[in-house]
Structure 1
Amino acid sequence: MYTMYCKIFKIGSLLVLLGFLGQCKHEKKENLLIKDANKALTVLDSISIGKEFTLYKLPYAYDHTIIFNSRSNKWHLYGIIADNKEFIHLTADSLTQIGWEKQESFRYKGQEIWAPHIIEHKDTYYMYYTSIGEPRQIRYAISKDLYNWEHPQDEPLFAYANEYTDNQKNKDPMVFKNGNQWIMYFSMLKDDKHWVVGYSTSNDLIHWDGPKICFDEQTENPGVESPFVVQRGEYYYLTLSARPTWPHGGQDIFRSKSPFSWKTTDLVKRINPWHAAEIVRDLDGKWYYSRSSGNESDFRMAELFWNDGLDDEETSMPIPNQ
């Protein structure tokens, strides 16, 4: 009888052991699948760019914005130049032409201004930018032709502060439409020293709620400059400048299924060196990645290839109307 119980115990123990090993193998397989999925999501050669070419040479160039005016069939570029108290204004008949034509600069009361971003809504152009002060302010101006600008109000849209600091360093605004809601992304401090990408939301482009945080590395390194977002299908791509360390470095591109949250593990591309990138789409449907750099002394551009299989999906950046 004792021998029989021993055999039963051994068989039972063996079955438990086999079950345990099977469970471990299953969990290991699941972990490997998760790692493979993460690896597939963060592979750094999915997006690629073509050969760089220079749009315009000048002694100093940084954050900029490019937009097409379908009524005049002109491309317009506004960007930071030396002394930071004006935005250079360039125009061109073709997005990719070499040597754009210089127009009258944009200024605001002689103040230091940074990082313009322009969108079109209901036949009106809205320019959002940072006015440097304590605290830094996000302002806007409007135009019907991209040449003549007016400020509808003297007060800034917002100048965020918190319990830790009176100046959250609000800068580099970019406005993005998601359904019926507008989202403004910008670089900011979440307390008195940690940099994040913040966002505010609006239904009318003027009254903004927030701020909230969509990208947080828990770091004091301000490598979250010039945020720019593009939707392609179910994915939202976020590109950031001054990566991985400020002030120099390259661009990181992250991909998420939410326009309100990206993590460092969502990285899909690093382009280095590169700075203050904007994404723009030409009249023939091609995508381009622009670049400005005070060290390089010019505005540059290169064709952008997504390689994500989403070229026929809905996008926040359709081909410009002609």
Structure 2
Amino acid sequence: MVLMLHFRILRVLIWLLVTINVQAQQSEKKPLITIGKFEKIFDQSIGENDTWYINDHCFIQAGDGQWHMIGITGREAPHPWDESNFAHAVAESLTGKWEKKKYALRVRPDLNETVLWAPHIVKHNDLYYMFYCGGHPDHRKYQINLAVSNDLYEWKRYAGNPIFMDGYDARDPFIFRDEINNRWIMYYTATSKPEGGYRIVAAKISYDLLNWSQDRYVVFKDLTDKGTWGGNTESPIVIQREDWYYLFIGPGPNYKTTKVYRSRDPFNWDIEDEVAVLEAHAPEIIQYKDKWYISHCGLKQGGLYLAPLYWHDELEEKLKEK
């Protein structure tokens, strides 16, 4: 009887040791991406008589070193959803004091623009290209448009607008430079069909930023998310880390959620490729002075925020070993 009791105690002790070891290993294993504390860097409400918000936006550094932020803005009340102008702010550094400037662009109803949404800017041959959603009275004809500038202050619309229309409310363009193949890839959100359907992230290819492939690539489809307006495939961003491609999309389970997926194929992500869930809405991912940052914004969020972003992937491990 005593021997059996000792054997049972030994089994319990072994089980406890194994459990503690597994829990310790799990606690040491971090998600591939984590974020630090958000700090407010800009508030569009400054100088206004009411409360304004910043939503989907972009950052770009000018040739003189100054940083520019251009993005969606609108009143919280009494006229919500009147997103007819792009906010513009400038700072000496990404984390520095941001100064409010005049609007970067105003909506053109005569060109069937109903909104100004989700700009993304890249520089090519000393010219800044700003891709944005201009809306349309018919949601099946939402326009991805282009404006160009020499200085990030004065913008001129491209005579060939719209660049294209796709799905229901095609919007949120993000331009990725594919250096390996000397081309540009535009990722954007849409639906599988013009009248609605599965929410998707689609992509088109260009070699000059003006002419884009007629056919689209469906790079991500959420088979659990179907409809017309909105959805969980908004605000796509793609970041390359060695031979891995990270796709950031949202809003996910709630307004302040961004999900991250990774794949070795820049034209194919799957639900099972999820590697992180971040608390941020419509973020931008920016590298500045060898550090990474993530932004956060949106309706009733009180402004534009910035936080450190930390990678815990294979590349980060290699960099630590050097």
Give TM class, smaller chain: 0.7 to 0.9
Out of 236, 251, 259, which is 1:242 matched to? 251
| 1:129-168 matched pairs, under 5 angstroms | 129-133=132-136, 134=138, 135-160=141-166, 167-168=167-168
Match for residue 22 of structure 2?
Answer: none
Letter in 2 for 1:233: E
Letter in 1 for 2:126: D
Letter in 1 for 2:271: T
Match for residue 211 of structure 2?
Answer: 207
Take 2:36 and 2:125, find their aligned partners in 1: how far apart are those partners?
34
Q: Does the alignment pair 1:304 with 2:309?
A: yes
Is the contact made by 1:126 and 1:143 (CA closer than 8 Å) also made in structure 2? yes
Take 1:269 and 1:44, find their aligned partners in 2: how far apart are those partners?
10
Match for residue 241 of structure 2?
Answer: 232
TM superposition shift of 1:309: 3.1
Is the contact made by 2:192 and 2:200 (CA closer than 8 Å) also made in structure 1? yes
Match for residue 42 of structure 2?
Answer: 56
Structure index of larger Rg: 1
Take 1:291 and 1:185, find their aligned partners in 2: how far apart are those partners?
20
Take 2:129 and 2:185, find their aligned partners in 1: how far apart are those partners?
14
**Cα displacement string for residues 157-195 of structure 1 (whole angstroms, at most 9, x for unaligned residues):** 0012xxxxxx53211000101121211000001122211
TM superposition shift of 1:311: 4.3
Is the contact made by 2:36 and 2:308 (CA closer than 8 Å) also made in structure 1? yes
Letter in 2 for 1:300: Y
TM superposition shift of 1:155: 2.7
Is the contact made by 1:52 and 1:300 (CA closer than 8 Å) also made in structure 2? yes
- Give 5+ residue unaligned stretches, structure 2: 1-25, 46-51, 75-81
TM superposition shift of 1:312: 9.0
Letter in 2 for 1:182: W
Moved more, 290-299 or 303-312: 303-312
Identical amino acids, percent of aligned pairs: 34
Match for residue 196 of structure 1?
Answer: 200
**Cα displacement string for residues 267-287 of structure 1 (whole angstroms, at most 9, x for unaligned residues):** 111013x200110111x2111
Is the contact made by 1:241 and 1:277 (CA closer than 8 Å) also made in structure 2? no
Match for residue 90 of structure 1?
Answer: 89
Take 2:205 and 2:33, find their aligned partners in 1: how far apart are those partners?
29
The secondary structure found in structure 2 opposite 1:194 is strand
Letter in 2 for 1:104: K
TM superposition shift of 1:244: 3.0
Match for residue 104 of structure 1?
Answer: 102
Out of 36, 43, 59, which is 1:66 matched to? 59
Take 1:61 and 1:313, find their aligned partners in 2: how far apart are those partners?
37
Is the contact made by 1:49 and 1:304 (CA closer than 8 Å) also made in structure 2? yes
Take 1:90 and 1:278, find their aligned partners in 2: how far apart are those partners?
15
Is the contact made by 2:30 and 2:312 (CA closer than 8 Å) also made in structure 1? no
Take 2:200 and 2:287, find their aligned partners in 1: how far apart are those partners?
27
The secondary structure found in structure 1 opposite 2:95 is coil
Take 1:311 and 1:181, find their aligned partners in 2: how far apart are those partners?
27
The secondary structure found in structure 1 opposite 2:53 is coil
| 1:118-129 matched pairs, under 5 angstroms | 118-129=121-132
Is the contact made by 1:44 and 1:269 (CA closer than 8 Å) also made in structure 2? no
**Cα displacement string for residues 79-136 of structure 1 (whole angstroms, at most 9, x for unaligned residues):** 10112100100000011124x1111212232541100001111111110000111210
Take 1:129 and 1:155, find their aligned partners in 2: how far apart are those partners?
11
Is the contact made by 1:47 and 1:305 (CA closer than 8 Å) also made in structure 2? yes
Take 1:306 and 1:76, find their aligned partners in 2: how far apart are those partners?
25
TM superposition shift of 1:72: 1.6
Take 1:208 and 1:44, find their aligned partners in 2: how far apart are those partners?
39
Letter in 2 for 1:90: A
> Do the aligned partners of residues 142 and 224 (structure 1) sit closer, same or farther apart at CA in structure 2, a change above 3 Å counting?
same
Letter in 1 for 2:248: T
Match for residue 170 of structure 2?
Answer: 170
TM superposition shift of 1:254: 0.7
Using structure 1 for the length normalisation, give the TM-score.
Answer: 0.77
The secondary structure found in structure 2 opposite 1:190 is strand
Take 2:142 and 2:30, find their aligned partners in 1: how far apart are those partners?
35
Take 1:313 and 1:93, find their aligned partners in 2: how far apart are those partners?
32
Match for residue 287 of structure 1?
Answer: 292
The secondary structure found in structure 2 opposite 1:297 is coil
Match for residue 81 of structure 1?
Answer: 73
Out of 19, 29, 32, which is 1:46 matched to? 32
Out of 232, 237, 257, which is 1:223 matched to? 232
Match for residue 260 of structure 1?
Answer: 267
Match for residue 21 of structure 1?
Answer: none
TM superposition shift of 1:212: 1.8
